[in-house]
Amino acid sequence: MAIVEVVKYNGKPNVMAWKYPSEELGTWTQVIVNETQEVVFVKEGKVLDILGPGRHTLSTENIPLLSKIINLPFGGKSPFTAEIWYINKIFALDVKWGTAPAIQLQDPKYKVFVPVTAFGQFGIKVDDSKKFLTKLVGTLPSFDHDVMVKYFRGLLVSNAKNVISGYLVNKNISILEINAYISEISEELEKKLKPELEKYGIELVNFYVTSIEAPEDDSAVIKLKEALSKRAEMDIVGYDYNTARSFDTLESAAKNEGSGANLMGAGIGLGMGLGVGGQFGGQMSSISSKIDTTGGKKTTEKIKCNKCGSEVDENQKFCPECGEKIGNFCKECGAKLARKGQKFCPECGASQVFTCPKCKKEIDEKSKFCPECGEKL
């Protein structure tokens, strides 16, 4: 293989470390280093030198240690083999990260485990090329943003889980409310990750959490949303959980067989148990008056027999005591009237008002004498 005369960078834009493909070099080989780059010169696993931006000749004058490696007198010329690594030190501010698959966290409010995913991006810059190359890159031919995120995934996920869990517990909030604290969580994660990345020669410029989500179709998430919705309803009407539960119990009692007395007994018992006194009693009275205690069955009203005065059901046709026909009837055609005191028959139009034959004043049909003129009826 021919000895390389000129070495220059030919890697991709998102690459952090790139190894020049050929190791056949000479003391006359020139290395071109661009701005925002450094070149690490490696021989037999040892870093000989780091070259900054510019055009460099791989001579013993520029790299004094080279003479010891290839056994040449100072200023001599000879071919040799070595590795040339390009380190891109430009800021990379759009490195994406995420916790997929989801991490399991317990909601401190509702005590259910919910799968949670967190996503965001961060900015980095290689600060120490030698440390970065020897501790992280190793023998890989190149090292880009994706590889770095893969390497640090465990560090990212464990810290994200700890910080998010800490905020849930310390703030006593539900997972569905965590996005209100994204900025604070981002700052906390940046503080924790910064010293860890410095160990590998990487400077963490910034760190952002853009979203913390729970899957909409997860059963635990659905239950959480229902609980929050119920809580919002209670807040609007001014009830707490115990009061709402007592209302549920009262409504269940109303659906069972029994009278209003049983219903109010349940209400009084609940009121005493909750210790809400007169205020709860007032609420019970208001609610019980609106709840159907008959189980949907229509009650029958009682009326008095026109002849003997006994109480009978309004839907009975004859009095069980005296046999009198039950109800009010037209005195002309005999049609049943809708109510007592109806002035005209809806069938024949006859007047149902009783009047004194002498003075024509309206009188009760059972009167024996006219209260106005004294006429015997």
> Domains along the chain?
6-88 (no CATH), 93-219 (3.30.479.30), 239-288 (no CATH), 320-377 (no CATH)
User: In the structure, what pLDDT confidence band is assigned to residue 333 with cuts at 50, 70 and 90?
Assistant: confident
User: Per the structure block, which two tokens stand in for 196?
Assistant: 């860890």
Q: According to the model, what pLDDT value does residue 212 have?
A: 92
- CB of 244 closer than 8 Å to CB of 280: no
Share of the chain above pLDDT 90, in %: 30
Pure H helices in the chain:
66-70, 129-132, 145-151, 153-171, 182-198, 219-237, 241-255, 260-274, 277-288
Q: Which of 157-161, 185-189, 222-226, 336-340 has the highest mean pLDDT?
A: 185-189
User: In the structure, what pLDDT confidence band is assigned to residue 276 with cuts at 50, 70 and 90?
Assistant: very low
User: In the structure, what pLDDT confidence band is assigned to residue 245 with cuts at 50, 70 and 90?
Assistant: low
Mean residue pLDDT of the chain comes to: 78
> Among 27, 30, 25, which Cα is nearest to 72's?
27
| pLDDT tens digits, 195-209 | 999 999 999 999 999
pLDDT at 268 over 60: no
Q: According to the model, what pLDDT value does residue 189 have?
A: 96
Q: Which of 5-14, 113-122, 196-205, 268-277 has the highest mean pLDDT?
A: 196-205
Better-scored residue on pLDDT, 41 or 227: 41
- CB of 72 closer than 8 Å to CB of 27: yes
Q: How far is CA 81 from CA 8, 44, 63, 325, in A?
A: 17, 9, 14, 127
User: Per the structure block, which two tokens stand in for 167?
Assistant: 């905020």
